[in-house]
Amino acid sequence: MITSVRLRCAFALIAIAFASVAQPTPAAAQEFAVVVTPPRFEDRAKAGATYRNVIEINNTSTKAARYTVQTADWTLDAQGGPVFSQALSKDSCRPWVGIEAGEIAVKGNGKRRYRFEVAVPAGTPRGECRFAIMIEGEPQPPRGNVPLPVSGRIGVIVYLAIGDAAPNLDVLETRSASVQGHTLPVLRVRNVGDMHGRLDGYLAAVDADGRRIVLVPDNSPILVGATRDIPLYPQAEDNSAQTPTIIYPLRIKGRLDSGSQRLDIETTLNR
């Protein structure tokens, strides 16, 4: 039977692997060797209905392993990193969430299909149910200079849009900024909708040397009510060519998508 759970106290020292890309994500802390698929869910549900899905947990170690499974609330910090919370956040939907079991065992080189469900109450207004399912290994004995036991943990992120919820992204500013040692175009984007959004597509640009450059937006989520800086990464028109270094000023024109929303961009950056 699937039963609702709440987070228990975490171990004193935890190595976290946050999965936000659409590929299988391995994590390792001491003997913690697990691959979880998918690493995130982005789906829809109706008020008054129960949403169900399955996580596949693969133990890549030759030894049998036990895992604790719990739910958590989460948000992103200013740098875009995850911040998990044991306490229920304001308007948390975790009381709707049921998981198959609080503890599971997986044999060496084995896998386990793990069920969860979200029972959306009738009358729930459109919006977004967002939570994480945390899969945590057993604490391992201290090694080296680590004074406390260490365990590994993976967060499977769930975005569940309720009803007709949709992002509504507004580009507040286009500027250049230093990103990982390179000066890149950056969009400051605000989400005034009722579910998270991402920017997709590409923009056409021409730099001061007359080179045509394709700009691709970072695909990180922009949460409801949040404002984020989204870098635009340059790519050569020929995929086999080296990534170009931008010579400013840079003329940018094109359209980006976020779900059914279209965002027209036309600007010139002087650096």
For residue range 178-196, list pLDDT tens digits in order: 998 999 999 999 999 999 9
Distance CA 91, CA 48 (A): 17
How far is 246 from 253, CA to CA, in rounded Å?
A: 15
Tokens representing 235 are 């790519």
**Residues ≥6 apart with Cβ < 8 Å to 91:** none
Quickly tell me which residue has 């989460």 as its tokens: 74
Which amino acid appears at position 246 of this protein?
I
Q: By the 8 A CB rule, do 256 and 201 touch?
A: yes
- 3-state SS, residue 96: helix
CA distance between the termini of the chain: 59
3-state secondary structure of 95: helix
pTM for this prediction: 0.81
66 alpha carbon, distance to own chain's centre: 25
Beta strands in the chain (DSSP E): 3-4, 14-18, 25-29, 32-37, 40-45, 50-59, 65-76, 82-85, 97-99, 103-106, 111-119, 127-137, 151-162, 169-179, 182-191, 200-206, 212-217, 227-236, 250-258, 261-269
The whole-number pLDDT of residue 216 equals 97
Is it true that 3-162 and 169-269 share their CATH fold? yes
DSSP 3-state assignment of 94? helix
C-alpha closest to that of 14 among 135, 156, 112: 135
CATH topology of domain 3-162: Immunoglobulin-like (2.60.40)
* Residue indicated by tokens 């270094």: 245
Taking 70 as the pLDDT cut, the residues of the chain under it are 1-31, 140-151, 237-241
**All structural domains of the chain with their residue ranges:** 3-162, 169-269
- pLDDT computed for residue 46 by the predictor: 97
Determine the CATH number of domain 169-269.
Answer: 2.60.40
